[in-house]
Every structure is written in C-alpha cells, then in structure tokens.
Structure 1
Amino acid sequence: MIIRILGEGQYRVDESAVADLNTIDAKIEQAVEGGDQEALTAQLTALHNEIIAAGKPVADDELEDSDLILPSADATLDEVRELLEESQEGLLPG
C-alpha cells in the first residue's frame, strides 16, 4: 500500500502494518469527536511517525498513485472531520 502524507511524501507500507496504524486512527477519531485539537495533532504526528518507521519512502522520480492520502500533522479538527465524514472506516481502511 502506498500512503501519501501531505507535506511529507509517499511511503510504501506493508499491509501487515495497517492493523497497528488503525489503533492510532481510532484515537484520531476520538480526538475529533471530542473536539480536542491538541490530541488530534499528537495522534496525527504519531500516525505519521509509525508510517515513516514501518514504510519505505517512494523515490521522488517514481510515479506511483497513492492508495491513501493523509492530512498533515497540523490539520485542523474541521479538516479531519470532513475527511472522516467522507469515509466509513476512519482515515485508514480496516
């Protein structure tokens, strides 16, 4: 799976890592539901860090479609709320 983090680039992440990422995704949803911008920023940062640690960067000269696009760590509650409303599964599938 190729995940794009806005402002940071693309990472090739093994499907086996998605379950761990979904734990953080659930915390992101809780932060949005609770209206907690500080928790949202912390969880988006944690999600990005996990993706970077688990994935391999896609080279800049490689043209690959992203399977998933995530907001930057400084995304607002409203921005992430809008993304969550478009999805039935949170920011990540599964």
Structure 2
Amino acid sequence: MPQPSDRRTRIEAALTGAFTPVTLRVTDDSAGHAGHAGASPDGETHYSVEIVSEAFEGLSRVQVQRTVMMVLQPEFESGLHALALKASAPGKAP
C-alpha cells in the first residue's frame, strides 16, 4: 500500500496503528517556525501531538515519550525536526 504523501497523515496513521488512541490530535506548527533551525520552506517540520491511549497505562512519562519517538523515527529521518508531545493514559494528566 502506498504511503500517504503528507506528514500529518503519516503521523496519524503511525500513532493510530501503534497505540489505538482514544484521542489523537496532530497539528502542523511549521508556519510558526519559519526561519528557525530545522524549518523548511515547504513546511512539515514542526508538529504538536496530543494523544491519549490505554497503551500508556503504567508507563513513566519518559517511557511514553521514547515509545512515541520510536514509532515516529521514520518521520524524523525524513525531515521532521521537532515534536511537541502531550501524551497520557485515559484519566491521567499529560
């Protein structure tokens, strides 16, 4: 199956496949980082993710962040520069 062409869709698909989230919000913040390190004129370099998943139950904040970053490693390797992450299990504060 071909990969979706836009990074937001790929991030959503990767996180949904890995964590079956209850809540998932992916926002492209690239326009607000124009001219900063890692920014590209084409965008798709800076994102915010809010995710709530039962898969994070019992994990520390660091474990959750590492797990999410591992899932998104292909995106970092292909131009994703920065990710602001708010992740938690249901009923827990991010």
Determine if the TM-score, normalized by the shorter chain, exceeds 0.5. Answer: no
Q: Which has the larger radius of gyration?
A: 2
Q: Which has the higher helix share?
A: 1
Q: Which has the higher strand share?
A: 2
TM-score by length of 2: 0.32
TM-score by length of 1: 0.32
